[in-house]
């Protein structure tokens, strides 16, 4: 299967828990998944097979709720191309050495 990219923004809601701490739990779930990823200020971009990435999205939502979120909204962007795509081809030329 070709590699895809998924942009994921987790938006946890909680009366009692710190938002950043809940987002940290979502990122921790991504780290544990083993997929390639990059954390940015407003979203995390994942790279891998689409089915695997969608499973990671689900796991981040569950991890955020398990950490104490009352509810979770997620914004998901998917870039699928039959021949594959990568984070590097999108942003590599903008990186500082």
Residue 56's pLDDT is: 98
Structural domain includes residue 53: yes
Q: Report how many domains make up the chain.
A: 1
> What pLDDT shows up at residue 96?
83
Residues 6 or more apart whose Cβ sits within 8 Å of residue 49: 1, 2, 3, 4
In this structure, what CATH number is given to the domain that contains residue 50? Answer: 3.30.70.930
Please give the pLDDT value at position 97: 67
Asked whether residue 94 is domain-assigned, the answer is: no
Measured in residues, the chain has a length of: 97
**Stated pTM of the model:** 0.92
Residue 89's pLDDT band, with cuts at 50, 70 and 90, is very high
């Amino acid at each position: 299967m070709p590699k895809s990219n998924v942009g994921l923004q987790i938006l946890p809601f909680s009366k009692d828990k710190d938002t950043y701490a809940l987002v940290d739990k979502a990122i921790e779930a991504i780290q544990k998944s083993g997929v390639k990823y990059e954390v940015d200020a407003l979203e995390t971009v994942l790279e891998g097979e689409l089915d695997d990435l969608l499973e990671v999205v689900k796991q981040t939502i569950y991890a955020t709720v398990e950490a104490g979120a009352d509810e979770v909204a997620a914004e998901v962007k998917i870039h699928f191309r039959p021949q594959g795509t990568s984070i590097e081809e999108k942003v590599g030329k903008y990186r500082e050495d």
